[in-house]
Amino acid sequence: MYRLLRAPFRPVTYSRWLHLCVPVLVLAIWMFVVPEWPWGPLLLVLPFGLVPWVRLAEGLQAQFLLTPHDRGSAEGAISLASSAHWGDRWRTVLWLATRMVVAIGAVGATVWMPAMTVELIATALGHSLDPDPLAPYIPESRWLAALLAPFPLVVLMAVVVVLGELVTAAATWLLGPSAAERLSALEERTEQLLERTRIARELHDSIGHALTVAVVQAGAARAAGDPAFTDRALCAIEETGRAALEDLERVLGVLRESGQPPSQRPTLAEADRLLESARASGSEVDAQLTGPLATLPGPVTREGYRILQEALTNVLRHCGPVPVRVRVEMAEDRLDLEVTNALPERPGMTIGGGSGLRGIRERAALLGGEAETGLYEGGWRVRARLPLERIR
């Protein structure tokens, strides 16, 4: 009852009413031409449901008038796509038939209910219409006619609301996304979420590394009091900051859908700049890179670079300038990457956890590999194994 009382004040009530009345325009024109065959329009319109683009046209109209809250949404309850399979075509045919039948009931109520109200008002005023097809349904008492005058309009509004809900439910069922369309939308949504996660990891690794190096270098330069060391620290900060700005510009370009292709992301062939950045921060880096790293598959070399970057960033951030051992080896079927560092004796120092280590494991898992992080021989080790066979 509350919904019925609200119906006259809801715009969707009238947009659904319009949607109900549109098919009868075809019927009205047909009745002027061939009045002895009133069901002709139904048989004439139904075959159009087999045309693929009719589903798109009906979906646009239904979404615009029946579910305006989903207007323009590709993920709404009503599909905005042409028929891709015969199942979609036959559902469109059934929708056209349902829409025509429901429309006839809505337009019948739209015509006869106001006419009955006019007749009741005329009777209450002591007049009668001529001709008067509704005379058998009109009470002779003037006061009773006056009392019943608003009732047909209430019935009309109830019919419009009920039929509007009915046709909306039918549209959701018959014009709704098919299983293939739902799967496609789910895959697209998953790709978007994965891309956002990748961008978040890129920002975390690149900007986090640059800030960590800058903080460590600035602190070391201030403590050293050596102009030559300060000059080298400032150069390292400048170089790291410039690289971080390039990465930030690339990621922002991706967000603007005009970014550089993935092939231009840093690779393990550029690992020297990470090692030099760590050395410039005061760490003693023992690095050994084995194998033709320049021939690595794109996904492996790019993710390997980010894993190495995050591992070195964690060393500088949590341990400071401690000795670091880096081993990168390209075997026949996999890439082995290992970063080991000593742990300083700091009271209250926390080990493990954090989004950086989780990001390392996620990067390895996406390529079908594995990553291990934890204590090793009195220090801390990050080891990743990335397969090559399934990537080539």
pLDDT of 136: 64
pLDDT of 210: 72
Omega of the bond leading into 52 within 30 degrees of 0 (cis): no
Counting DSSP H helices and E strands in the chain, the numbers are 12, 5
Are 40 and 34 in contact by the 8 Å Cβ rule? The answer is: yes
Is 255 exposed, middle or buried, given 0-12, 13-18 or 19+ CB atoms closer than 10 A? exposed
The identity of residue 31, as a single letter, is: M
For residue 91, give the H/E element and its range: helix 86-124
DSSP state, residue 374: E
CA distances from 85 to 56, 77, 80, 82 (A): 13, 19, 14, 9
Kindly give, in sequence order, each residue whose CB lies less than 8 Å from that of residue 169, ignoring residues fewer than 6 positions away.
Answer: none
Are 197 and 232 in contact by the 8 Å Cβ rule? The answer is: no
pLDDT tens profile 1-45: 566 677 778 888 889 889 888 888 777 776 677 666 666 666 777
pLDDT of 383: 94
pLDDT of 335: 92
pLDDT tens profile 273-332: 888 888 877 788 999 998 888 888 888 888 888 899 888 888 887 887 889 999 999 988
pLDDT of 262: 47
DSSP state, residue 332: S
pLDDT of 255: 60
Rg (CA), the chain: 36
Q: How remote is the C-alpha of 283 from its chain's centroid?
A: 44
CA distances from 165 to 19, 255, 303 (A): 12, 40, 52
pLDDT of 23: 83
Are 159 and 109 in contact by the 8 Å Cβ rule? The answer is: yes
The identity of residue 34, as a single letter, is: V
CA dihedral of residues 364, 365, 370, 372 (deg, nearest 10): 70
136 vs 152: CA distance, rounded Å: 15
Q: Which residues of the chain have pLDDT under 50?
A: 258-263
pLDDT of 339: 94
pLDDT of 132: 58
For 280, other C-beta atoms within 10 Å of its C-beta total 22
321 vs 316: CA distance, rounded Å: 6
pLDDT of 350: 57
The identity of residue 19, as a single letter, is: H
pLDDT of 349: 55
Kindly give, in sequence order, each residue whose CB lies less than 8 Å from that of residue 239, ignoring residues fewer than 6 positions away.
Answer: 273, 277
Tokens representing 300? Answer: 């492996």
Give me the sheet containing 370-376, strands edge to edge. 285-290, 324-330, 334-342, 379-387, 370-376
